[in-house]
Amino acid sequence: MINRWLVGALIVLTPFSATAHASSGDQQTTTTTTTVLEAVSFPVPKQSGVGRRDNEVIRTFLVSGMKGQPKRGNYTVFSQSASSYSPELAGVTFRYMTRFAIGRNGGNIGFHEIPLRNGKPMQTVEQLGAFLGSGCLRSSTEDALFIYRWAKPGTRVVVVP
């Protein structure tokens, strides 16, 4: 199993523990694998992310989100869509949605590219890292595609301050 996680001012996607059970007659064997994460060994700018594989940094990127949302805690990626839209904001679409939480208004929260409103970007790539958004974590199209391909359903997401 490859360990995958993202570290950021808001979000950490961590590898999950795996437990395997096997039994033979009256004997039962249990094997548990747990990955312990270590502190980030270099400064991580606010509103940024770091992708790691087996504790090796493989990518860094900036994200924009809403201050205080999602709340601190443990989550799991539960679905993905190559293209999606906002049910709350008319004319807003985006690609590469990776959902991991439910917001305070009941909508999905996840990583996705900078959204378009009626075909026009709602922010620039240069504005990534600022608190802009209505709950999700926005990133460049390239980084959203990376997350979409890399953080599959079942990936643990840990929100940190």
Name every residue whose Cβ is closer than 8 Å to that of residue 137 and which is 6 or more positions away in sequence: 10, 11, 63, 64, 65, 109, 110, 111, 112
Domain-by-domain residue ranges, the chain? 4-18+30-159
Q: Cα 106 vs. chain centroid, distance in angstroms?
A: 18
- For residue 37, pLDDT beyond 80: no
Q: Which residue has the higher pLDDT, 73 or 116?
A: 116
> What is the rounded CA–CA span in Å between residue 125 and residue 105?
27
Confidence of residue 16 (pLDDT cuts 50, 70, 90): very low
Q: What is the distance between the alpha carbons of residues 56 and 61, in angstroms, rounded to a whole number?
A: 15
How many DSSP H helices and E strands does the chain contain?
A: 1, 14
C-alpha distances (whole Å) from 129 to each of 2, 28, 126 are 28, 50, 8
Rounded CA gap, 151 and 12, in Å?
11
Mean pLDDT in residue range 98-107: 91
Confidence of residue 15 (pLDDT cuts 50, 70, 90): very low
Quote the pLDDT of residue 88.
Answer: 86
Q: How confident is the model over 44-62, as pLDDT tens digits?
A: 445 555 555 566 666 777 8
The architecture of the domain spanning 4-18+30-159 is Beta Barrel (2.40)
